[in-house]
């Protein structure tokens, strides 16, 4: 019996390490990550030996060993993961539940067959099947949530594996084991099935909700893009009409200039030339960059700023073809510029300005925006980015900006100084 527990627990530790190795994005190299997992496995196995073989009748040793093992297991996941937050803790706690299923399976098989080897084979196969099912069912979903920050804290979700673990412990191990109280076997089996199904359903629901949010922002982007094209088309048509009138009137201007030349009225000629240049400049269609999508977005935002009497100073360097997704990049610019416009629109006229440097070359991407503010800006304690105080769906835009930066491996920094807010995004290609 002791050997069955020793080997069964050893299987659990091996598959626990496999689970967190496969379902987390690593901070270190594969070799270093493997060494860390092996050391953790050795520590877990050592404490199993202490509580099962050295001091099997000591409740204090059992309790102390369990606490150390829980801490070691969860700390390993947090230590090897690239991001150390509630999402990583959720994976580690979930892994503890998955491997405990194998131990319960071994106990059930031994109770009914009294065969150690059959119990161990069933334990091993159960671990393999659970690992493969979860890897193919929810592996991509977990990786997506690890790679991108959707603004959701997973602390509440961590309660799911915690309560499942407590339920398994009470049914199968404490205060009575399944060997001592086999009536709990059926309940344990249904609880295991419930746990596996609930994880898949919950994570797929979160994935579906995330896709809806992404779809919403894509629709907003396309709507903004279409409105920008309509606005630009209107400006082009208006400019063409005004320039046609100017071309029609050029014959009259030419006659006036010739007449004024004969009279020597050079100042008046200069006034006419200045008027013609003014008409041409007024009907010149703005072109901030060569990229059609980004230029359309900037034209739209410049129109909004002009309508609110905001001085929008743009330093734009964007070629026709860029190394990032045009629509995602334009969406990021729209979110940042809209936030800046909202921040300054109610300020005094001399404070209503936005300075924006936007460069996207083959070597780097730089977004540097600065504006004044009066209302206090709250920053998220996790992301370090400003939080929206407008409620509702506001604030998702900044999450979109962060997700875009994380996707490219970039850095975002923002700070307030002397009533000036500044945000910088930099990506080195």
**Domains located in the chain, CATH noted:** 2-213 (no CATH), 287-429 (3.30.565.10)
Give the residue among 293, 251, 260, 257 at the shortest CA–CA distance from 273: 257
185-263 and 116-147 helices, crossing angle to 10°: 20
Q: Is 99 helix (H, G, I), strand (E, B) or coil?
A: helix
Q: Tell me whether strands 311-317 and 411-417 are parallel, antiparallel or unpaired.
A: unpaired
Contacts of 229 (CB under 8 A, 6+ apart): 296
Give the mean pLDDT of the chain.
80
pLDDT of res. 17 = 92
pLDDT of res. 178 = 81
Contact present, 178 and 98 (Cβ < 8 Å): no
421 token code pair: 């807010």
DSSP state of 1: -
Condensed to tens digits (0 to 9), the pLDDT of residues 175-195 reads 777 878 888 888 888 888 888
Task: Compute the Cα dihedral for 101, 106, 107, 112 and give only its sign.
Answer: positive
Condensed to tens digits (0 to 9), the pLDDT of residues 251-287 reads 666 777 777 777 777 777 787 777 767 766 655 556 7
326-344 and 396-408 helices, crossing angle to 10°: 140
Question: Sorting pLDDT into bands at 50, 70 and 90, what band is 370?
Answer: very high
Cα distance between residue 74 and residue 55, in whole Å: 24
Condensed to tens digits (0 to 9), the pLDDT of residues 232-249 reads 666 666 666 766 666 666
Condensed to tens digits (0 to 9), the pLDDT of residues 37-51 reads 999 999 999 988 888
Res 420 pLDDT > 60: yes
Res 318 pLDDT > 70: yes
Looking at residues 373-387, what average pLDDT do you find?
Answer: 71
pLDDT of res. 229 = 62
Question: Sorting pLDDT into bands at 50, 70 and 90, what band is 381?
Answer: low
196 token code pair: 């596996």
Res 313 pLDDT > 70: yes
Tell me phi and psi for residue 379, to 5 degrees. -110, 140
Tell me phi and psi for residue 368, to 5 degrees. -130, 110
Give the residue among 74, 8, 63 at the shortest CA–CA distance from 174: 63
Cα distance between residue 313 and residue 394, in whole Å: 25
Contacts of 424 (CB under 8 A, 6+ apart): 366, 367, 368, 369, 412, 413, 414
Q: If you average pLDDT over each of 18-22, 240-244, 401-405, which comes out highest?
A: 18-22
pLDDT of res. 204 = 79
pLDDT of res. 38 = 93
pTM of the full structure: 0.55
Contact present, 372 and 416 (Cβ < 8 Å): no
Give the residue among 416, 401, 253 at the shortest CA–CA distance from 328: 401
Q: Considering only residues 194 and 399, tell me which one the structure prediction assigns the higher pLDDT.
A: 194
Q: If you average pLDDT over each of 49-53, 80-84, 367-371, which comes out highest?
A: 367-371
Looking at residues 210-218, what average pLDDT do you find?
Answer: 68
Res 12 pLDDT > 50: yes
Condensed to tens digits (0 to 9), the pLDDT of residues 85-109 reads 888 888 888 888 888 888 888 888 8
Q: How far, CA to CA in Å, does 60 sit from each of 1, 57, 63, 65, 328?
A: 21, 9, 5, 8, 57
Cα distance between residue 48 and residue 6, in whole Å: 7
């Amino acid at each position: 019996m002791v050997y069955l527990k020793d080997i069964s627990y050893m299987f659990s530790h091996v598959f626990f390490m496999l689970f967190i190795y496969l379902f987390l994005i690593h901070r270190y190299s594969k070799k270093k990550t493997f060494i860390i997992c092996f050391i953790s496995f050795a520590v877990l196995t050592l404490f199993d030996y202490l509580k099962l073989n050295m001091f099997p009748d000591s409740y204090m040793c059992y309790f102390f060993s369990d606490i150390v093992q829980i801490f070691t297991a969860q700390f390993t996941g947090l230590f090897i993961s690239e991001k150390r937050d509630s999402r990583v803790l959720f994976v580690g706690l979930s892994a503890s539940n998955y491997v405990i299923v194998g131990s319960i399976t071994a106990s059930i098989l031994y109770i009914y067959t009294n065969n150690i080897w059959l119990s161990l084979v069933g334990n091993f196969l159960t671990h393999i099947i659970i690992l493969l099912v979860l890897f193919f069912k929810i592996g991509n979903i977990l990786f997506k949530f690890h790679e991108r920050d959707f603004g959701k804290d997973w602390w509440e979700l961590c309660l799911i594996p915690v309560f499942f673990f407590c339920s398994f412990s009470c049914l199968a191990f404490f205060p009575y084991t399944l060997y001592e109280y086999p009536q709990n076997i059926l309940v344990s089996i249904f609880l295991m099935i419930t746990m596996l199904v609930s994880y898949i359903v919950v994570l797929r629901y979160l994935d579906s909700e995330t896709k809806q949010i992404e779809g919403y922002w894509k629709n907003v982007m396309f709507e903004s893009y279409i409105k920008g094209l309509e606005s630009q088309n209107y400006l082009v048509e208006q400019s063409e009409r005004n320039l046609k009138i100017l071309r029609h009137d050029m014959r009259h201007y030419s006659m006036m200039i010739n007449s004024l030349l004969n009279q020597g009225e050079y100042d008046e000629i200069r006034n006419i030339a200045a008027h013609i240049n003014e008409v041409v400049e007024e009907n010149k269609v703005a072109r901030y960059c060569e990229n059609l999508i980004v230029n359309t977005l900037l034209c739209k935002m410049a129109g909004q700023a002009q309508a609110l009497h905001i001085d929008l100073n743009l330093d734009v360097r964007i070629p026709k073809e860029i190394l990032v997704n045009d629509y995602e990049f334009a969406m990021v610019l729209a979110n940042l510029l809209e936030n800046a416009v909202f921040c300054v629109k109610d300020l005094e006229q001399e404070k209503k300005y936005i300075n924006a440097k936007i460069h996207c070359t083959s070597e780097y991407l730089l977004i540097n925006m600065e504006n004044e503010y009066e209302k206090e800006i709250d920053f998220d304690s996790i992301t370090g980015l400003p939080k929206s105080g407008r409620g509702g769906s506001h604030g998702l835009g900044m999450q979109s900006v962060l997700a875009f930066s994380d996707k490219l491996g970039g850095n975002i920094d923002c700070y307030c100084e002397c009533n000036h807010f500044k945000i910088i995004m930099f990506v080195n290609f």
